[in-house]
């Protein structure tokens, strides 16, 4: 995470590609780079508290933002989405289901205990056990665990060939915990975290703030900051006010309406990078008439996605023209804007082919049954989610489809998503890729065996040809071959349209211009404030 100046420059060059699509990116190093200054406290405002600072337990981004600074993983994923050494200085792929990691020998946990192969194995044993698996296990696929080869070498194995194994080690949720501290603290470990990271835990006043301080004994480039304070300010306007009064230096999840003014003001920098999360309208393929691909295509053609993104989403994201975000390994362009341009006439023709005729009150009908679709949407879970659903409802009305929209609280939406059966036709939902590998999107949300409650294939997209392709890509060790297979899978999705991608979400932060060295990360769980310094 922390790079010396040379590596920082290098990875900034690499990351400029990933940042190219961002609508708000102001690159901090263009404003005349100055030598980093040691010292000071960085105060960050965020809307909600962490649940726990134990990666075993907290899957939320607000948790990961903090514990990502306390723990190190075996390897890390740079903002340019490249794997870099972490606790492991190098690694060797022994087979498609086995990678050997060579550990650094100079690493100690904040409590002074050594971070050796046995300690690494402890985190694996704790996380990858069938009885009570940790959060990490839920998206690290078929990983079985780690075995100690010698004091500073571990083998990580999976039960089946698993190409994304290395990327699965690079997630913040894979931070290595101090075995000693876990044994001493038990359940309270989440309140007294001990890792190897560039920052050490100081205190946590629940729902108020969490304080971290510099780890002077850090094995890598040491932090410039003395302290980082994460404050909780639930009101989005209040977060910006606290930024303006100087009470905080950086604001996460700022209100979108405040961004234009902040961007014009030279005292602030708005950081934005397109993330790995795609917000989409999902079809339930088991609910007629959504089982008919003509109906799905007609709905897609009738949706003015560009207008929705331009007028509603704004700086929160960029129009999604493909089935997943471009910064994910295995991404292939499918050009949804060319396949399904906004074309109401074509949509009407497709619906007619599918047997729908104009009926009473302008609503289409087939066999006397009006074309009424039920839709569920969250509000405030993703930027502009409810507003998008309402715009979609209005656009469907224009071609004679009645959409009954319900917007319950998120717990209800979530329960519906996880239930064995889903009765609504449409749902506004999203998928955020954590590992940076297409596997975490295409398998988890599309393979036939991943229908809820097991996985996230809430579309109930059952396509044996697709399953075969994504499985092949999972077991191949040849990156070029994997890319070809994933391209095929994305083309199948574009053809079958189990979901209508709307936008790829931007990860946005605002900071005072004296905050230097921050590069936003495409994975929303990662907040790389470790290398930051204050130029006051």
Partner 1 sequence: MIRYLGGRLAQSAIVVVGVSVIVFASLHLAGDPVALMLPPDASYQDMQRYRHLLGFDEPMPEQYLQYAIKALHGNFGTSIRYNLPAVPLMLEHLPATASLAAAALTWSTVAGVVIGIYAALHRGGAVDYAARILALAGQAIPVFWLGPMLILYFSVQRGWFPTGGFGLGAHLVLPAVTLGAYYLAIVIRLMRTSVLASLQQDHVRTARAKGLAPRRIIIRHVLRNSWLPVISMLGLQAGSVMGGAVVTEVVFAWPGLGRLAAQAISGRDFPLVQAIVLFSAIVFVLVNLTADVVYMVADPRIRYS
Q: Which residues contact partner 1 by CB under 8 A? A: 48, 51-52, 57, 59, 133, 135, 137-139, 187-188, 190-191, 205-209, 231-235, 237-238, 241-242, 244-245, 247, 409-412, 414-415, 418-420, 444, 453-456
3-class SS shares of the chain: helix, strand, coil, % to 5: 35, 25, 45
Residue indicated by tokens 């998120």: 410
Q: Please, which residue, 258 or 364, has the CB nearer to partner 1?
A: 258
CB of 137 to partner 1, least distance (A): 7
Angle CA 66–525–408, to nearest 5: 110
DSSP state for residue 427 in the 8-state scheme? E
170 versus 243: smaller Cβ distance to partner 1 = 243
- The number of beta carbons lying within 10 Å of the beta carbon of residue 426 is 27
- Can you read off the two tokens belonging to residue 318? 């960029």
From CA 369, how far away is CA 398, in angstroms rounded? 18
Q: How far is the CB of 291 from partner 1 (least distance, A)?
A: 23
Q: How many helices (H) and strands (E) does the chain have?
A: 16, 22
Beta strands in 369-516 (DSSP E): 369-370, 372-376, 402-406, 426-432, 499-512, 515-516
Min dist CB 271 to partner 1, Å, is: 22
Nearer to partner 1, 228 or 396 (CB): 228
Between 5 and 418, CB nearer to partner 1: 418
Task: Report in angstroms how near the CB of residue 454 gets to partner 1 at its nearest.
Answer: 5
Rounded to a whole number of angstroms, the minimum distance from the CB of residue 316 to partner 1 is 22
Q: How far, in Å, are 96, 178, 267, 457, 515 from residue 85 at the CA level?
A: 20, 20, 35, 33, 26
Q: Which residue's CB is nearer to partner 1, number 34 or number 138? A: 138
Q: Choose between 351 and 438: whose C-beta lies nearer to partner 1.
A: 438
Toward partner 1, which CB reaches closer, 232 or 396? 232
- In the complex, the smallest distance separating the C-beta of residue 130 from partner 1, rounded to whole angstroms, is 9
Which is nearest to 166 in space by CA: 477, 392, 523?
477
| Tally of CB atoms within 10 A around 293 | 16
CB of 192 to partner 1, least distance (A): 12
Cis omega before residue 153 (within 30°)? no
Nearer to partner 1, 52 or 389 (CB): 52
Q: How far is the CB of 234 from partner 1 (least distance, A)?
A: 5
CA dihedral 289, 294, 295, 300 (to 10 degrees): 150
């Amino acid at each position: 995470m922390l790079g010396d100046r040379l590596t920082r420059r290098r990875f900034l060059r690499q990351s400029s590609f990933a940042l190219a699509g961002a609508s708000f990116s102001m690159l901090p190093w263009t404003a005349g780079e100055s030598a980093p200054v040691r010292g000071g406290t960085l105060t960050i405002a965020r809307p909600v508290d962490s649940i726990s600072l134990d990666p075993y337990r907290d899957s939320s981004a607000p948790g990961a933002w903090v514990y990502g600074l306390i723990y190190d993983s075996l390897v890390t994923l740079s903002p340019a989405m490249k794997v870099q050494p972490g606790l492991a200085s190098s690694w060797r792929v022994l087979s498609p289901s086995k990678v050997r990691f060579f550990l650094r020998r100079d690493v100690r946990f904040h409590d002074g205990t050594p971070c050796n192969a046995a300690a690494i194995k402890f985190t694996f044993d704790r996380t990858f056990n069938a009885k009570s698996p940790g959060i990490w296990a839920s998206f690290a696929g078929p990983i079985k665990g780690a075995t100690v080869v010698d004091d500073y070498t571990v083998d990580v194995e999976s039960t089946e060939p698993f190409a994304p194994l290395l990327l699965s080690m690079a997630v913040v949720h894979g931070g290595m915990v101090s075995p000693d501290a876990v044994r001493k603290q038990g359940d309270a470990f989440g309140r007294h975290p001990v890792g190897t990271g560039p920052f050490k835990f100081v205190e946590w006043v629940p729902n108020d703030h969490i304080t971290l301080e510099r780890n002077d004994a850090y094995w890598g480039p040491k932090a410039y900051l003395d302290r980082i304070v994460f404050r909780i300010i639930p009101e989005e306007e209040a977060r910006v006010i606290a930024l303006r009064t100087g009470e905080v230096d950086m604001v996460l999840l700022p209100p979108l309406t405040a961004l234009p003014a902040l961007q014009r003001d030279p005292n602030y920098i708005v950081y934005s990078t397109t993330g790995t999360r795609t917000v989409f309208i999902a079809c339930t393929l088991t609910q007629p008439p959504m089982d008919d691909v003509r109906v799905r295509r007609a709905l897609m053609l009738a949706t003015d996605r560009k207008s929705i993104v331009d007028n509603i989403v704004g700086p929160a994201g960029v129009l999604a023209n493909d089935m997943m975000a471009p910064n994910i390994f295995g991404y292939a362009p499918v050009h949804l804007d060319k396949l399904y341009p906004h074309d109401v006439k074509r949509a009407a023709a497709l619906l007619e082919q599918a047997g729908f005729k104009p009926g009473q009150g302008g609503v289409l009908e087939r066999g006397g049954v009006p074309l009424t679709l039920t839709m569920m949407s969250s509000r405030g879970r993703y930027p502009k989610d409810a507003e998008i659903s309402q715009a979609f409802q209005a656009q469907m009305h224009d071609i004679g489809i009645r959409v009954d929209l319900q917007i319950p609280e998120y717990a209800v939406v979530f329960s519906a998503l996880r239930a064995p059966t889903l009765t609504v036709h449409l749902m506004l939902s999203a998928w955020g890729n954590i590992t940076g590998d297409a596997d975490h999107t295409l398998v988890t949300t599309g393979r036939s065996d991943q229908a809820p409650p097991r996985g996230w294939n809430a579309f109930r997209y059952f396509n044996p040809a697709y399953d075969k392709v994504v499985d092949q890509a999972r077991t191949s060790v040849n990156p070029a071959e994997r890319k070809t297979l994933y391209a095929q899978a994305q083309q199948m999705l574009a053809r079958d349209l189990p979901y209508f991608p709307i936008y790829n979400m931007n990860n946005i932060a605002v900071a005072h211009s004296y905050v230097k060295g921050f590069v936003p990360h495409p994975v929303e769980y990662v907040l790389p404030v470790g290398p930051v310094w204050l130029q006051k």
